[in-house]
A and B are shown apart, each in its own frame.
Chain A
């Protein structure tokens, strides 16, 4: 761990050398750089030939300064990234980035930590990457989340000003996430609602898949450009497919075989979880392909439906256990109300009609009707 922290806060000296020179000094071979590059190429679904290009550009690059800001969050995203297998966080920290500021991982605190951030910003002006974890409260001038006397809003604006790019890590930083759930008491928003003049990559998830986080950072480092993004600003390589399309339980959906409770025969047989509220059909993420814990499993494989955590506002979409084809709001009271009004209206209208008819019959002195029950044909 000592080496980890030493490397994490290496700044000016290490950035003077290219990565190729620095890694050569440490005894890291070109083969190892190529191996790392092939991870990145494979993760981002790039052609195999890209791995050589990535290795070349990595060797010539300077060690990348990264500032990791933690705002309204649970540190789940940091917990998740520390479990990345390939590339691992250690791969990134030891060899490719200089993590100059991270409240969760750095061992210094207080003014020393803030000094490290300011030093990194000064030395890497216009070149550093900002990773944001957590949403930013805007209500009451952002007073709901303050660190060292500065609101998250002020810190974000200050750090983003000279950043090369921003990565919004997790659903909170990307879209507001759980802090923004109704009634959103702090006025929480995602980074893109505040910063408009910098490239922003959203890497949502609650938390995001570790390899998706490290892969996105690695892509930015390796190719020096923003990966292709979807309409929500997410890298298409990871968020291009919906989970339902890639789910191994999809054949059960086609055959109409569903689990209807978490302990019925269908659940034991591993049938589709649509009826239990799985949001896989409307959720775009790499859970069904990259999976979690080094490719061991993902929520659906473990028997629970997808919550749709990489989608905006997933917390406020009704019950996690309501199937997608059902209304988000309860219809019981509304339906009963409509039925009562419809019935009452029909009865009143019929009584009025009867009264009018009786008056007509009285006036005409015609005997009362004796026959059939129904009125005019209504087919």
Chain B
């Protein structure tokens, strides 16, 4: 067992998990404690209830509008493939579940390792495809910031190194697993402070948009 693995499983993981928890809670609680906005205009009459509007907007945004379906087909399919693959990879592998169990105090059933590996491969390719799309689409490229590339790159690393570790490719297993854990540490440290935070905020912000739109009487 290498010293690198000891460092990764010890201080690196401890510090990165602490920063992750601190950052996520700080951002979420700050957001929910933000003072209410002053809105002088009265709400439209006979608008949807806030709950219905919020949930409706979350569901509506899961598929592109018909008008843009053709144009957005790649982003739509690739996005779903990536997110489902990532969820399977992160929450389905026995080793990962053991990690969550150590922190949360409870675990769940794992999926076959080979199946998770397949999901990991799909995730990796879809991530690379999305980064390539971002670089080649002129509009998307213009809209992209360093945060987008960092978020994508820091997600690619744990997936790629995890696959190498599972397949025992390239280096000795203890080195591969150490690099994998260290890449997860970097991901966790960056997570609360960039766009990766959308994992927690995506439904909140979409619901909020739905409520605002409903209040203004926008028909969606």
The answer to whether residues A242 and B205 also contact, given A326-B99, A338-B18, A342-B26 and a CB cut-off of 8 A, is no
Residues 11-30 of B contacting A (Cβ, < 8 Å) = 11, 13-14, 17-30
Interface size on A, residues (CB 8 A): 62
The distance from the CB of B195 to the nearest CB of chain A, in whole angstroms, is 9
Mask: chain B, 1-18; 1 = CB below 8 Å from A; 0 = not = 110011001110110011
B33 within 8 Å of A (CB atoms): yes
B93 proximity list for chain A (CB < 8 A): 256
> At the interface, yes or no: A28 with Cβ under 8 Å from chain B?
no
A61–B181 alpha-carbon span in the complex (Å): 52
B38 is an interface residue with CB less than 8 A from chain A: yes
Interchain CA distance A22-B98 in the complex, whole Å: 60
Asked if A317 lies at the interface with its beta carbon under 8 angstroms from chain B, I say: yes
A368 vs chain B, min Cβ distance (A)? 8
Judging by beta carbons under 8 Å apart, are B17 and A281 in contact?
no
- Report the separation of the CA atoms of residues A245 and B96 in the bound assembly, to the nearest whole angstrom: 20
A256 touches B110 (CB 8 A): yes
Tell me which residues across on chain B come within 8 A of A242, comparing CB atoms.
Answer: 172-173
Residues in B30-44 with C-beta less than 8 Å from chain A: 30-39, 43
Residue A112, interface by CB 8 Å: no
Q: Does A2 contact B (CB under 8 A)?
A: no
State whether the Cβ of B94 lies closer than 8 Å to any Cβ in chain A.
yes
Expressed in whole angstroms, the minimum distance between the Cβ of B70 and any Cβ of chain A is 24
- Chain B positions within 8 Å of A345 at CB level: 22, 26
Cα distance, A323 to B93, chains bound together (Å): 13
A339 to B29, CA, bound (A): 11
CB proximity of A166 to chain B, nearest CB, Å: 24
Is B208 interfacial (CB 8 A cutoff)?
A: yes
A176 to chain B, nearest CB (A): 14
Once the chains are docked, how many angstroms separate the CA of A347 from the CA of B25?
10
Q: Mark B158-172, 1 if CB is under 8 A from A, else 0.
A: 000000000010001
Question: Are A327 and B9 within 8 A (Cβ)?
Answer: yes
Which one of B25, B32, B177 contacts A282 once the chains associate, using CB atoms below 8 Å?
B177
A365 part of interface (Cβ distance < 8 Å): no
Chain B residues with CB below 8 A from A353, complex form: 34-35
Which one of A254, A255, A328, A346 lies within 8 Å of B26 (CB-CB)? A346
Contact of A379 among B9, B26, B206, B215 (CB under 8 A): B206
A180 to chain B, nearest CB (A): 15
Q: How many angstroms from the CA of A377 to the CA of B37 in the assembled complex? A: 12
Kindly count the residue-residue contacts between A and B in the assembled complex, taking CB atoms under 8 Å apart: 185
Chain B contact-residue range equals 35 or more
How many angstroms from the CA of A291 to the CA of B119 in the assembled complex?
Answer: 36
Which residues of A, 306-327, contact B by the 8 Å Cβ criterion? 308, 311-314, 317-318, 322-327
Q: Which of A84-92, A133-141, A329-337 contacts B (4 or more CB under 8 A)?
A: A329-337
Query: Of the candidates A329, A347, A370, which one forms a contact with B33 in the assembled complex, judged by CB atoms under 8 Å apart?
Result: A347
Contact B1 A374 (CB under 8 A): no
Q: Is B103 positioned at the interface, with any CB of A under 8 Å from its CB?
A: yes
Contact present for A337 and B18 (CB under 8 Å): yes
Contact with B along A340-373 (1 / 0, CB 8 A): 0111011101100110010001000011111111
> Which residues of A lie under 8 Å from residue B201 when comparing CB positions?
378-379
Knowing A338-B22, A369-B39 are in contact, say whether A375-B34 is a contact too (CB < 8 A): yes
Asked if B102 is at the interface of the complex by the 8 Å CB criterion, the answer is: yes
A258-B94, A274-B94, A311-B1 known; A339-B22 Cβ under 8 A: yes
B127 interface contact, C-beta 8 A? no
Q: How far is the CA of A367 from the CA of B39 in the complex (A)?
A: 10
B135 CB contacts on chain A under 8 angstroms: none
Contact A339 B21 (CB under 8 A): yes
Cβ of A283 under 8 Å from chain B: yes
Partner of A244, one of B25, B94, B173: B173
Asked if B112 CB lies within 8 Å of chain A CBs, one says yes
Residues of chain A within 8 A (CB-CB) of B14 are 327, 329, 331, 334
User: When the two chains form their complex, are residues A378 and B205 in contact, meaning their CB atoms are under 8 A apart?
Assistant: yes
From B10, B22, B27, B110, name the one whose CB has the most chain A CB atoms within 10 angstroms.
B22
Tell whether, in the assembled complex, residue B33 and residue A350 are in contact, meaning their CB atoms are under 8 Å apart: yes
How far is A332 from B149 in the complex, measured between Cα atoms in Å?
A: 33
Min CB distance A157 to B, Å, is 28
Pairwise interchain contact B209-A377, C-beta atoms closer than 8 A: yes
Residues of A within 8 A of B31 (CB): 374-375, 378
The distance from the CB of A289 to the nearest CB of chain B, in whole angstroms, is 17
Flag whether A253 is at the interface (Cβ < 8 A): yes
Tell me which residues across on chain B come within 8 A of A322, comparing CB atoms.
Answer: 102
Chain B stretch 169-220: residues in CB contact (< 8 A) with chain A: 172-174, 177, 181, 197-198, 201-202, 204-206, 208-209, 211-212, 215
| B160 CB, nearest partner CB in chain A, Å | 17
Q: How far is the CA of A95 from the CA of B181 in the complex (A)?
A: 51
Q: A274-B94, A379-B202 are in contact. Are A326 and B25 (CB under 8 A)?
A: no
Cβ of A279 under 8 Å from chain B:
yes
B113:A323 contact, CB within 8 angstroms: no
5 A-B pairs with CB atoms under 8 Å apart are A245-B168, A255-B114, A256-B94, A334-B14, A335-B21
Given A327-B13, A350-B34, output 4 extra A-B contacts at Cβ < 8 Å.
Answer: A282-B177, A323-B98, A325-B181, A372-B37
Which residues of chain A have a CB within 8 Å of any CB of chain B?
242, 244-245, 253-256, 258, 274-275, 279, 281-283, 308, 311-314, 317-318, 322-329, 331-332, 334-335, 337-339, 341-343, 345-347, 349-350, 353-354, 357, 361, 366-379
